Amino acid sequence: MITFEDVTKRFPDGTVAVDHLDLEIPTGRTTVLVGPSGCGKTTSLRMINRMVELTSGTVAIDGDDVRTREPAVLRRSIGYVIQQAGLFPHRTVLDNIATVPFLLGWDKRKARERAGELMELVGLEPGQARRYPHQLSGGQQQRVGVARALAADPPVLLMDEPFSAVDPVVRASLQEELIRLQDELQKTIVFVTHDIEEAVKIGDAIAVFRPGGRLAQFDVPERLLAEPVDEFVEGFIGYDRGVRRLSFFPARTLSLRSDVVVDAGTSAEKARSVARDAAEPWLLVVDPDKRPLGWVSAETLEGAAGDRELGSLALVGYGHIFVVATDSLRAALDASVLSPAGRAIGVDTDGTVVGVVSQADLGAAIWSAGDAAVPVGGRD
């Protein structure tokens, strides 16, 4: 556990970056410090490894005051990842990763062996070991940065906006990779970002800072989105916090209708009666493997010759789908909003259709989710 006890940082020019901060960062979890620029989140992070010296108060790791440790020695026991990776341009990827083991005086071969293992862990090709940082893409450099931070297997990992300099697609994959790594490694991660979306995605707990270096709220993401303590936090989280909160409710709780799913070989005649029985304006047409082909409207069916097969009619593209077992209510809602039929298609992990859910039924599910104080888990 990392504890901040009444910590204040005042810079020589008089500005107070961190103001009487009390915070307990749990061991083995990911804690995100988030807030607008100038809120003291990075300063707080850097006080943990003494890159910034605090003015008053105490920062302790597992009860040991960090100021009792020699800075260079302390830092070798704490992983650190920064925005632009900060790789050493004159060292190969392998030797960059082996930096801290080298500093700790490990045998060179053992250090490089360990670096090789880490390359695999963070998803780098072995062929990149002898390359230099400038020969890598931004995303790959960031992976090297993470591998370097983990090389000496430190219990604590500090990450200062590590993914904000890469494009959104790469960022998303790095975030997922981090979540996967953390499931495996269970490090005490302190992660700084200004992006609440990122905080909600990767954080087990989120500390929201307000300008002037004060802690506004410290909570699990679900509760932060449900119950922001004041207007500042609410404003910072954003106007669509309600929608985003749905990320924490699993889609598997939805009741899907399968009576409106029809095979491509069905005749228009038969489909008409299905639509009438279900009182639904849209039917989902699937192929013999139960994969979605498209929507057909009751209107189209009325105008079609009775013996025509549905597969030969003009179908409306089915748009987005969601995976019932793993996606959240948010993904289901998104799929229904984007669907030309106003209905979301739920599929199994193998892509076969489970059923569809209308926006009205989704609304009911969202309504009951809103009542649940603590969500059942699951995220998108």
Partner 1 sequence: MTEAPPVDWGWIQRQLDGVIADRLLEHLYLSFPPILLGLLVALPLGIASARWRPVYPPVLSGANMLYAIPSIALFYLLAPYTGLTPWTAIIPLALYTLAILVPNVVDGLNQVPDHVRQAAAAMGFGPLRRLLQVELPAAIPVVAAGLRVASVATISMVSVASVVGLGGLGQLILTEGFQRQFPTPIIAGILLSVLLAFLTDGALVLLQRWLTPWTRGRRAEAGRASRRARASSAPAREEEAVP
Joined together, the tokens standing for residue 28 give: 């083995």
Q: Return the closest-CA partner of residue 357 out of 281, 282, 255, 271.
A: 255
d(CA 168, CA 176): 12
Kindly tell me which of 74 and 129 has the beta carbon lying closer to partner 1: 74
d(CA 300, CA 55): 73
Q: Shortest distance, CB of residue 89 to partner 1, whole angstroms?
A: 6
The site for partner 1 (CB under 8 A) is made up of 49, 51, 72-76, 80, 82-92, 99-100, 103, 132, 134-135, 145, 148, 158
Yes or no: say if 301 and 275 are a contact pair by the CB < 8 Å rule: yes
Q: Shortest distance, CB of residue 172 to partner 1, whole angstroms?
A: 23
Joined together, the tokens standing for residue 343 give: 């209905």
Kindly tell me which of 100 and 331 has the beta carbon lying closer to partner 1: 100
Kindly tell me which of 51 and 264 has the beta carbon lying closer to partner 1: 51
Kindly tell me which of 29 and 76 has the beta carbon lying closer to partner 1: 76
Kindly tell me which of 112 and 241 has the beta carbon lying closer to partner 1: 112
Joined together, the tokens standing for residue 276 give: 């009438």
Kindly tell me which of 33 and 87 has the beta carbon lying closer to partner 1: 87
Query: Which residue do the tokens 């008089």 mark?
Result: 14
Q: Shortest distance, CB of residue 44 to partner 1, whole angstroms?
A: 15
Kindly tell me which of 109 and 134 has the beta carbon lying closer to partner 1: 134
Q: Shortest distance, CB of residue 165 to partner 1, whole angstroms?
A: 10
Kindly tell me which of 148 and 330 has the beta carbon lying closer to partner 1: 148
d(CA 348, CA 326): 9
Helix (H, G, I), strand (E, B) or coil at 260: coil
Yes or no: say if 377 and 248 are a contact pair by the CB < 8 Å rule: yes
Q: Shortest distance, CB of residue 206 to partner 1, whole angstroms?
A: 23
Q: Shortest distance, CB of residue 103 to partner 1, whole angstroms?
A: 5
Q: Shortest distance, CB of residue 46 to partner 1, whole angstroms?
A: 8
Q: Shortest distance, CB of residue 99 to partner 1, whole angstroms?
A: 5
Q: Shortest distance, CB of residue 141 to partner 1, whole angstroms?
A: 11
d(CA 52, CA 227): 33
Q: Which one-letter DSSP state was computed for residue 76?
A: H
d(CA 85, CA 140): 10
Query: Which residue do the tokens 């009860």 mark?
Result: 63
Question: What is the phi/psi pair of residue 158, to 5°?
Answer: -105, 130
d(CA 52, CA 45): 9
308, with CB counted inside 10 A (0-12, 13-18, 19+), is middle
Yes or no: say if 144 and 89 are a contact pair by the CB < 8 Å rule: no
Neighbours of 369 (CB within 10 A): 18
Kindly tell me which of 75 and 245 has the beta carbon lying closer to partner 1: 75
